[in-house]
Structure 1
C-alpha cells in the first residue's frame, strides 16, 4: 500500500474489521447452523464470535505491545523459530486463492438480479476482481473511504432486515420450536460451524503501518469490530429463527427469509447492500490486509526479493500484481479452489498451537513493551486467556479435521511437509534476515 501513516482512524479500522467478518459465510451458513440447534442459533453465533476472538488473544495483545509494519507475519516472526516463521510467510501467499471465490460470488449475485449477465459470470468475476485491486493503487486512505461507504450501506441493509423481522414478528410454527432443539451436541456443533463466519476482525492488525496510534487503535478496532459483528449476528439469527421452523431450516436461505418479511424493493436493496456489499467489504478488507505480511516476508528473504519492490509513493506493485494473478487466474479459468484453500488448515493449526505455547513468555521477554501496552492486565489473567485460546483453537481444529475428506487430509499433510522443507532450505541458504522485527529487537 501507499505509505499513508496516520491516515487510518479507529472508525476506518472498525469498518474494515466488520466488513472483513460479515461476508458470504453468514449468508450461506446461517441456516445450516440453525438446522443443528433451532432457535438457539442466535446464542450459538455469539458463542462462535467469542471462540473466534479467544483464538486471537495472542495477536490482540501483541498489537497493543508492538507497532509492526509486517502485521501478523511480523508478530509470528517475533515469537516463532525461523523454520515456522518461513511457513507463515508462505501461508499468507496461499490465502490469496480465496479472493477468487469472492469475485465469482459477487458475479453470481449480480447475475441473479440481472439475468442477462448470467452467461458472462466468469468475465464479470474477473472484472470485479480487477476493479477491487485497482482501488488499492490510491493507497489505504482512499481504500478506507470506499470501505466506509460499502460498510454503511451494508449496515443499513442488515438493519432493515432486522427491523422488518422484529416488526412482522415470528411464525407460530417457528415459535413452537424449543431452544437447543438439537441438544447440547447440536448447539456445540453450531458454534463450531458458525465460527468459520466470524473470522476477519484481526485483518486490521496487518494495517499497523498505515494506522494512527496503532498500539491503541488496532486492538480497539479488533474488539469493537467483533462486538458489532456479534450483535449483528445475534439479531440476524434471532429474526431468522423466529420466521423459519426448525424442520425447514436446512432448505431455507437468508435470502428466502428476507423475501418473506421485506417489500420487493427493499428485498433487492438487501441483496445488493447486504449480500453483495458484504462480499465486497470482505474482498476489499482482505486485499488491504494481506499485502503487508507478504512484503515483509519478501524483505526477510523467505520470498523473492523482487516482491518487496515499491513505487516512489510506496505502493508494493509487485506483491499486488502477484496477489492479483493468484486471485484472477482461477476465476478466469473457472477453477474451484475450495479444496486447495483447505490445504492450509493443518499447517495453520500447527503454527497457531506453537505460537500460543511460546506466547506465555512474551511479557517476560519484552517487559518494557508489556508495561506500556494498551491492554494491561495481570500476568495470571493473560495466561488464563492464552489457555482458553488454546482450548478454543483445539475445538475448532477438531471439527475442521472431521470435515476433511481423504483428498483434503492428504493435501494438508503434503503441504505441511513442503512448507517445513522449504523453510528449512531457506534458513540453510543464509538468505533469511528478519528485518521485519529489527525495530523491536533494537528496543530490547
Structure 2
C-alpha cells in the first residue's frame, strides 16, 4: 500500500495557500494585456473570469470532498470519467503549471534584477524547492507571511490611486467587442487558478470533506474582491489606454497618483507575490506528479514519500529541476499563454467530472465547462497551437503505454 501524506492543514492554511497562488500571478502582470484586449470593459471581463472560476471552484470543491487524495482533477477525472480523462487532466496540469512556475520565477527576476532575470529565476526555484522538501507545514507558514505582505502593498496602491484618480474613467465604454472581453477574461483567468492548490493538497488537509468546500470558495471570493478593487483603482488613475500601454501598471499607477515613495515598495511586493505563487505552484505540481507516478503514468521512482518529512521529495526535486531549466530559457509571455491553455483544459475535465455527481451540480458544471472552452480558444493562436500539440503528445503516450498499465 502506498505511504500516505500527513494531514496538517486546516481551513485557514488551505485558504492562505490558495491566496498565495492567486494574489500574485495576475495582479502584477495580467491587467495591462487584459486592458489592451477589453479596453474600458476590463471590469466586465474580470466578472466573466470570476464567474468561470467560481463554477470551476465549486466543481473542484465537491469533487475534492468526495475524493480527498493528492492529485486534484487527475483523481476526479479517473474516478468519474475513466482512466484516460484523469490522465489527460493530470498531464495538462503538470505541463501547464510547470510553465506557470517558470513564468512566476521569471517575474521574480524581472522585478528583483531585470538584467539577470533568468539567473534570479533559477535561484528562486532552487530555494523554494528546498523549502518544500522540508515539509508542507513550513511552506504554509511562509505563504501566510507572503500573502499578508502582498495584501498590504495592494491596499496601499488602491488607497493612493482612489485618492488621486478620476472616478469618471471607471465608466464602461461601448467600444469593447465580445471577443475582446473573452480574450481579456482568458488572460485574467490565469490569476484565479490558484484554488487548485487547495484541492491537489487534499491528502494533507484535516477533515477534507468539511475543510475543502469551505476553503475553496472563500479563497476565490477574497481574491476576486482584491482584484476588482485593484483593477478599478488603477483604471481610475491611468484610464484604459494608459493601463493597456503599461508594462508595470501598479508602479505606473502609484507614480501617476503622485506617490513616488510607493514605487519601490510595489516592486518588492511584486517579487514577493510571485515568490508566493511559485511556492504554492511547486506544491501543487509535485502532488499531481506523485498521484500520476503512483498509478504508473509517470516513473514509479517519483511516487516516493520522504520517511522523515513525509513529502513527495523525488517528485518535488524533479519538478524543481524542470522548472529551473524552463526558467533559464523561456519567455514569460509565452509561458503564461501556454499555461492558461493547459489549466483551462484541466478545469474543463473537472466540470465534466462534476456533471456526473448529481443533478444539483449540473448547472454550474455546464456553465463552467462552456466557459473553459470559450476562454481557452480565445487565447492567442500560438498558445492554442502549442498547447494542443503537447496535449496530443500526452494522449499518444497514454495510448502507447496504456495497455501495459492495464495488464498490471
Question: What TM-score range do you get, normalising by the shorter chain?
Answer: 0.7 to 0.9
Deviates more, 1:221-230 or 1:419-428: 419-428
Residues in 1 aligned to 2:339 and 2:152: alpha-carbon distance in whole angstroms: 35
Shift of 1:69: 3.1
Checking the alignment, whether the CA contact within 8 Å between 1:42 and 1:233 is kept in structure 2 is no
1:404 Cα deviation after fit: 1.1
Residues 304-315 of structure 1 aligned to structure 2 (within 5 Å): 304-313=299-308, 314-315=310-311
Q: CA offset at residue 307 of structure 1?
A: 1.1
Q: Deviations over 1:92-129 (max 9, x none)?
A: 432323322222221220125xxxxx3x4333222111
Aligned to 1:180: 173
Report the Cα distance in structure 2 between the residues aligned to 1:309 and 1:177, rounded to whole angstroms: 52
1:10 — aligned with what? 11
Residue pair 1:68, 1:208 contacting (<8 A) in 2 also: yes
Cross-structure match for 1:214: 208
Native 8 Å contact 2:92 2:346 kept in 1: no
2:191 is equivalent to residue 197 of structure 1: yes
Rounded to whole Å, the distance in 2 between the matches of 1:35 and 1:56 is: 27
CA contact (8 A) 1:204 1:222 kept: yes
* Map 1:426-441 → 2, pairs under 5 A: 426-430=401-405
State whether structure 2 residue 65 is matched by structure 1 residue 70.
Answer: no
Alignment counterpart, residue 144 of structure 1, candidates 137, 140, 144: 140
**Residue 276 of structure 1: which of 271, 280, 299 is its match?**
271
1:393 equivalent in alignment to 2:368: no
- Change in 2 beyond 3 A, CA 1:342/1:425: farther
CA contact (8 A) 1:49 1:198 kept: yes
Cα gap change, 1:29 to 1:432, in 2 (>3 Å): farther
CA distance in 1, matches of 2:295, 2:223: 35
Structure 1: distance between partners of 2:221 and 2:288 = 26
Please identify, of 16-25 and 43-52, the stretch whose mean Cα deviation from structure 2 is larger: 43-52
Query: Per-residue CA shift, 1:162-209, capped at 9, x if unaligned?
Result: 12222x2323xx725742343452545433432232221221101111
TM-superposed deviation, 1:152:
0.4
Which runs of 5 or more residues in structure 2 are unaligned? none
Question: 1:7: how far off?
Answer: 2.0
**Deviation string for 1:267-297 (max 9, x for gaps)?**
3222212x11211111011011121211111
| Larger Rg over CA atoms | 1
Within 5 Å, give how 1:297-336 maps onto structure 2: 297-313=292-308, 314-332=310-328, 334-336=329-331
- 1:362-381 pair list within 5 angstroms: 362-363=357-358, 379=359, 381=360
Query: SS where residue 108 of structure 1 aligns?
Result: helix
RMSD: 2.8
Task: Choose the corresponding residue for 1:404, options 381, 404, 407.
Answer: 381
Cα distance, 1:388 vs structure 2: 1.4
Structure 1 contact 147–281 (Cα < 8 Å) conserved: yes
TM-score by length of 1: 0.81
